[in-house]
Amino acid sequence: MLRLASGIFVAAIAGTHSTVWATAQPFAQAATRVEAGKEVRIGLINSIDPKTCNPRLDETARIAVEPSHGVAEIRREPVLLTTKDCQLAPVQGYAIYYRAPAGFSGRDRVTIELRVEEINTTDVYFFSVEVR
Set out the domains of the chain in order of their start, with CATH numbers: 9-131 (2.60.40.10)
Residue 17 vs residue 11, higher pLDDT: 11
Tens-digit pLDDT profile for residues 39-91: 999 988 888 777 787 778 788 999 999 999 999 999 999 887 677 777 767 77
Cβ contact 103:29 at 8 Å: no
- The mean of the pLDDT values for the chain is 76
Which residues share a beta bridge with 82? 87
Q: Taking the mean position of all CA atoms in its chain, how far away is CA 114?
A: 8
Confidence bin at 30 (pLDDT 50/70/90) = low
